[in-house]
Amino acid sequence: MRADGKLDPSFHTIALDSYTDALLLLSTGKILAAGSFARVNNASCTGLVRINSDGTLDTSYKPPAGAGGIRALATNSLGGLLFGGGFDTLDGTPRPGIAQFTSGGTLDTGFNPPPTDGTIYSLLVQDDGRVLIYGSFNQVANSARKHLARLNADGSLDTEFVVDPASYDYFDDVALSPDGKVFIAVHQNGTDSVFRLQSGASAFGPPVFSSAPTNVLSKLGETVDLQIPVRSFPPATYQWMFNGAFVPGQTNSSLRLTNVGYAAMGSYVLAASNTFGVVYSDPIQLIVNASPIMPGSVDASFDPGAGFGGGHVTSIAQQGDNIIAGGTFNTFRGNPALRIARLYSDGRFDSSFATAVGPTADVQDLAVDSSGHVLIGSRYSGSFGAAKVGALLRLDLSGNLDAYTPALPRAAQVWALLPLPGGECFVLGDCLDLSCSEQIVRLQADGTPSPGFNQSGLQLIPNRWLRVCGLQNPSCRGTGSSCEFQRCPAALII
């Protein structure tokens, strides 16, 4: 799409014979497409192709051997490529579903990921080089990790980033904010919620304490556990101190005091060191009781309260410091919120965002464009207040319906959105022209087609269901239209 949201007629059509699981916009303007397809433009391929900026196939690109199992794409800060999927080897080298290539196109042998027991469907790269992986796995490196884990910059498992598996049945969506915080939309016991996770510190450098220590109050004879979460790469060594003196033998990141007496009252400090230096924690005074905050635990400072009512959350997106949530709900913490809501960075409801009058069609996907406007995609057309709208609409910064008229037919169904710099947007869905097939189109900021883009779109799969990610709803036990695949944010990455 062009910046105004219109289709780009200068972008040529590429015909694929099966699913496209991931698209990645490269710094050169070219696009990587990965999926289960085996033919492109009636020619054999391996499931990974590179498309020129005008939509034509880049025939000079030679994908690595084994690329047919790739389901996720990402770039790192050095210009290298990360691939995720269900493969066992890539480019002739054993790689358990994750591999990293240098900017020169060679396999990065210094990045050694651990084995998983499932398929990787999403990769999110943090500024410090660590990688969030999301997929159908339950174990990573023989450690319990339910669908979400984080790898260090060298590919090893980040053992301190642990999301409590009891807090959710399955994920609906994952997003990464500019400051490194991880937001997850989850489903548990029939309820949808949005959580913000503790993310930890940078990958390289001296140890960093993940949270400020809190004083502890104990009764005589009780057992007290002192713990200060530490982020360190390379791993740190530890030494506890009591009232300025080393405590012999206490060289773990936690300290247990049993049968506490008056003599144990005082100041406790943890020293953590690695090859980059030594750091000392703020003192813990034996006064009040508090639990430590570990990376990967639910961030209590982000509190959505009772959350959403009357339906589910299907998509979340970051708008500045705020979170936009869309779905089938009609309230948030008792406030009217018709299928769309904006939350402050602490989880409170933003009543200044006009959501009492919202779309009548359920929100399938939403995204925030480069101007901060909210794009909303639905499975069918409907209304927004008194206004009739199609399956794609746009809200201004206050949540009101924007003067945006996308060049899509009334019968269009929108499944996923990918905003581009400058206001353009890729739209994935059904019936985006009169052919009623699964397509990708590009619109300008005003909704008109981008020049050079063929409005017939990109044929994706032969049936009526668009597989944007590939992680099937774990609660589904059947097949067909009742078991469509869940959308994941890394299916399309710029």
3-state secondary structure 163-189: CCHHHCCEEEEEEECCCCCEEEEEEEC
Kindly state whether residue 368 falls inside one of the protein's structural domains.
yes
Kindly state whether residue 374 falls inside one of the protein's structural domains.
yes
Question: What CATH number does residue 352 fall under?
Answer: 2.110.10
- 131 vs 13: which has the higher pLDDT: 131
Same domain? 246 vs 185: no
Same domain? 77 vs 226: no
The encoded tokens of residue 493 equal 């990455």
Give the range of the structural domain holding residue 429, as residue numbers without chain letter: 308-473+485-493
Same domain? 214 vs 120: no
Same domain? 161 vs 104: yes
Q: Kindly tell me if the per-residue pLDDT of 265 is higher than 60.
A: yes
Other C-beta atoms closer than 10 Å to the C-beta of 311 total 17
| pLDDT tens per residue, range 347-401 | 889 999 977 788 889 999 999 998 899 999 998 888 888 888 888 999 999 999 8
Same domain? 100 vs 83: yes
Query: Stretch 222-242: mean pLDDT, rounded?
Result: 84
Phi/psi for 128 (5° steps) reads -85, 5
- 82 vs 77: which has the higher pLDDT: 82
Same domain? 213 vs 354: no
| pLDDT tens per residue, range 169-215 | 777 778 888 777 788 877 766 777 777 776 553 344 688 887 788 88
Phi/psi for 189 (5° steps) reads 55, 40
Q: Which of 396, 211, 191 is nearest to 304 (CA)?
A: 191
Kindly state whether residue 9 falls inside one of the protein's structural domains.
no
Same domain? 125 vs 243: no
| CA distances for 431 relative to 405, 441, 456, 488, angstroms | 16, 11, 9, 22
Q: Kindly tell me if the per-residue pLDDT of 167 is higher than 80.
A: no
Same domain? 147 vs 259: no
Kindly state whether residue 439 falls inside one of the protein's structural domains.
yes
Q: Detail the DSSP E strand segments found in 344-412.
A: 363-368, 374-378, 382-384, 387-389, 392-395
Same domain? 234 vs 172: no
Kindly state whether residue 302 falls inside one of the protein's structural domains.
no
- pTM (2 d.p.): 0.42
Same domain? 248 vs 185: no
pLDDT at 315: 93
Kindly state whether residue 2 falls inside one of the protein's structural domains.
no
Kindly state whether residue 479 falls inside one of the protein's structural domains.
no
Question: What CATH number does residue 193 fall under?
Answer: 2.130.10.10
pLDDT at 318: 92
How does residue 479 score in pLDDT terms, banded at 50, 70 and 90? very low
Domain count, the chain: 3
Kindly state whether residue 84 falls inside one of the protein's structural domains.
yes
Same domain? 66 vs 171: yes
| pLDDT tens per residue, range 417-456 | 999 888 888 888 888 776 667 778 888 888 888 887 664 4
Same domain? 129 vs 228: no
